[in-house]
Amino acid sequence: MPSAFIVASAPVASSGPPPRFVSSSASPVVAGRDELLAGLLAPGASIAPKYFYDTLGSALFEAITELDEYYPTRTERAILAARDREIAAAFGRPGCTLIDLGAGNGEKAARLFAALRPREYVAIDISVEYLRRSLEALQSRFPHVAMTGVGADLGEPIELPERVARQGRLFFYPGSSIGNFVPDDAQRFLAGLRTHLDDTGGLLVGIDLAKDARTLEAAYDDALGVTAAFNRNVLRHVNRIAGTDFVLADWRHVARFDATHGRVEMHLEARRPVRVSWPGGERRFAAGERIHTENSYKYRLADFAALLGRAGFAVQAQWLDERERFAMLLARPQRA
């Protein structure tokens, strides 16, 4: 599947022209129907977490980041706000190309612009329309930063537009989104990033750290029920993409910390015997049977550093909040 296409490319001019849209087609998840149905038919049913992020799902995730229980976003924001100059000094390359993996509205990256002084900003996200609107707004606030949007599924190999400078690339992967990958896939993903970097490149990545189960389970099962809504909303999205007839009220939100794997798992559990059908097929679920919707790995620093090492990176520096809940790591390519 061609995973990358440019949605916005703005020539830099101090007058700040609107971004020029080069090419745009269907959303990268449209091709997901077969993959979704295969996941539903597997003995242990699953739906990949990328399907959370339709328009309502993206809004629900933004709401999650405001919850008292959900500490990662605000903790990371505080680390970045306090340490932005140190991070820029450690990377040591003003005029870099900042490549934002899962950019969303681009706000996290934009908060680093003053310290990092990037020449170019490349924003990659699966939610293409959202990205397009975000980049238009950002471009007018930062007319001197060249901006390019790429619509892509980060589960596929990353393709960067030809003209993106090879020197001074800094991948930015915040939010502990890397926690959605099982460790072997995380390693492959990081090794893939490594191939886009030379000695002058780097990776700034946010990691949610291992901690007590109570804190973790509260973060994924909040009192207001926003995370439950976010989880159940995936079924609305699947109904639209795959033509299934999931009834949301049949499914209960479950979030559990699995200490063996070091991950929070989210599931949807059938409240009663359920039959789900779609054009050409069906699946029956017994009461209590579950659909696995997300893994969110919580790493110990040493384990994540080892994983980075296996992917061809070495940790140059790390910044934690004082409660050691979350870490930002700056990693550099390591010679083999």
Chain residues in the site for ligand AVJ (CB under 6 A)? 64, 72, 175-177, 179-180, 220, 227, 294, 296
Task: Report phi then psi at 22, rounded to 5.
Answer: -85, -45
In the complex, which residue's CB is closest to ligand AVJ? Answer: 296
Give the count of alpha carbons within 13 A of 283, CB side only. Answer: 19
97 or 296: whose CB is closer to ligand AVJ? 296
Residue among 175 and 333 whose Cβ is closer to ligand AVJ: 175
- Residue whose C-alpha is closest to residue 176's, from 191, 186, 184: 186
**Minimum distance, C-beta of residue 206 to ligand AVJ, in the bound complex (Å):** 9
Task: Provide the minimum distance between the beta carbon of 68 and ligand AVJ in the complex, in angstroms, as a whole number.
Answer: 14
> What's the min distance (Å) between Cβ of 163 and ligand AVJ?
30
State the nearest-atom distance from the C-beta of 170 to ligand AVJ, in Å: 20
Closer by beta carbon to ligand AVJ, 119 or else 252: 252
For residue 154, the 8-state DSSP code is T
Instruction: Report which residue type is found at 53.
Output: Y
- The residue (of 28 and 72) whose beta carbon lies closer to ligand AVJ is 72
Phi first, then psi: give them for residue 169, nearest 5 degrees: -85, 130
The smaller minimum CB distance to ligand AVJ, of residues 61 and 313, is found at 61
User: Mapping DSSP to helix (H, G, I), strand (E, B) and coil, where does residue 218 land?
Assistant: helix
* Least distance from ligand AVJ to the Cβ atom of residue 308, Å: 18
Round to whole Å and give the CA distance between 250 and 273.
9
Q: What gap in Å lies between CA 190 and CA 101, rounded to an integer? A: 12
Which tokens sit at 77? 């924001």
Using a 10 angstrom Cβ sphere, with 0-12 exposed, 13-18 middle and 19 or more buried, the burial of residue 287 is exposed
Of 88 and 103, the one with the shorter C-beta distance to ligand AVJ is 103
For residue 331, the cross-strand partners are 203, 315
Q: Could you tell me the smallest distance in angstroms from the CB atom of residue 259 to ligand AVJ?
A: 17
